[in-house]
Amino acid sequence: MLELRQTALELLAVTDPQIKVVGVQDLFDQYHRQGLDLHASKLLNTGGKVLPGRPLKPELIPPLNVPKRSMATAEGRVSLLHSLAHIEFNAMNLALDAIWRFADMPTQYYVDWLQVAKEESYHFSLIAAHLQSLGFAYGDFPAHNSLWEMVERTSDAVIARMALVPRTMEARGLDAVPAIRDRFKQVKDVKVVEILEIILRDEIGHVAIGNQWFNYLCDQENLSAISTYKTLARKYHAPILRGPFNLEGRRQAGFTSEELDLLGLD
C-alpha cells in the first residue's frame, strides 16, 4: 500500500513538470479513494534525493537580474505568463514539501496540503498549456527562486513554514494577481483573465489554509499570533510587505482586522 507522505516526497523529487503534475493529481485521487495510508508520526528522510526536482530550465537568477519586459509587447506578456507558471510550479513543490516534511500534524493538515498541491498543479498546467498555444514553453525565460528559498529557510519548523510561506509569500500573490488580471483585460486576453480568476479564487483558499494552521500551532503553544509572526519574520528574514494590498482577498483568507491594520509596519 502506498503512503501519502512518502509518495509526496517522491513526487517532489520528480524533475519533469508534466510527470509531476500527473503524479500529484493521481496522488489526490488515490488518497480520496482511500487507496493510500497516512503515517503522520513517521519521520522521513530524503534518501539522498535532490529537492525539489526541477527541469534544467528555467535558468535561476537573482530577482533583480530578471529582465523587466513591458506588458505593452507580446514578448512582455509571455514573459509575465512564464513567471506565473514558475510561481505555480514552485507552489506545487512547496505543498508537497509541507506534506512530507512535517510529522505529527493532524490528518486534516495533510489533506489540506494535498488539496493545495492538486490545485497548484492545475494552475501550472493551465498556464503551461496557454504558453504552448503561443509557441513558448516553461523554461524559455529565466526566473528567480525567492519562494523556494523561503521554503528551505523554514524547513526546521512547521510554525515558521505556515507563517512565512502561505501567509506571507503566497499572500503577496493575492495582492498582485488582481492588477495583473486587469492588465490582461486591457489587452483583451480573455483566456489569461479566466486563468487568473481561477488562480485568485484558489489562492485565497491556500492562504486561508496557512492562516488556519499557523493559528492552530499558536493556540497549541498559547502564543500570540501577531507577536509570534513578528518574531518569526525577523528570525527567518521574511520580506517586508509593501502595498498596495488586496484587503478584501486577505480578509477572505482569514487575516484579522488587527493583522490588516499592521500591514507594512515593522
Closest alpha carbon to 224 in 259, 266, 257, 251: 259
pTM value is: 0.95
Task: Sketch the domain layout of the chain as residue ranges.
Answer: 4-42+71-261
**pLDDT level of residue 264 (50, 70, 90 thresholds):** low
Q: Cell digits for 109?
A: 493538515
Any idea which architecture 4-42+71-261 has in CATH? Up-down Bundle (1.20)
Residue 266, pLDDT > 50, answer no
Q: What is the pLDDT of residues 200-221, one digit of tens each?
A: 999 999 999 999 999 999 999 9
Handedness of CA 33, 166, 94, 55 (dihedral sign): positive
Q: What pLDDT is attached to residue 143?
A: 94
Q: Cell digits for 28?
A: 489526490
Q: What is the pLDDT of residues 16-36, one digit of tens each?
A: 999 999 999 999 999 999 888
Separation of first and last alpha carbons in the chain: 49
Placement of cell 493521481 in the chain? 26
Distances (CA, A) of 170 to 39, 128, 236: 28, 20, 16
**Mean pLDDT (the chain, rounded):** 94
- Contact partners, residue 16, CB within 8 Å, separation at least 6: 55
H helices present in the chain, as ranges: 4-12, 17-32, 74-101, 107-133, 146-153, 158-164, 171-186, 190-220, 225-235, 247-252, 257-261
Query: What is the C-alpha separation between 151 and 145, in angstroms, rounded?
Result: 10
Spacing of C-alpha 51 from chain mean position: 16
Q: Cell digits for 169?
A: 509569500
H helices present in 42-73, as ranges: none
Q: Where are the beta strands (DSSP E) in 161-254?
A: none
Residues of the chain above pLDDT 90, percent: 87
- The Cβ of residue 71 has, within 10 Å, a number of other Cβ atoms equal to 14
Angle (nearest 5°) at CA 13 between 9 and 18: 110
Q: Cell digits for 6?
A: 512518502
Cβ atoms 58, 138 nearer than 8 A: yes
Q: What is the pLDDT of residues 162-196, one digit of tens each?
A: 999 999 999 999 999 999 999 999 999 999 999 99
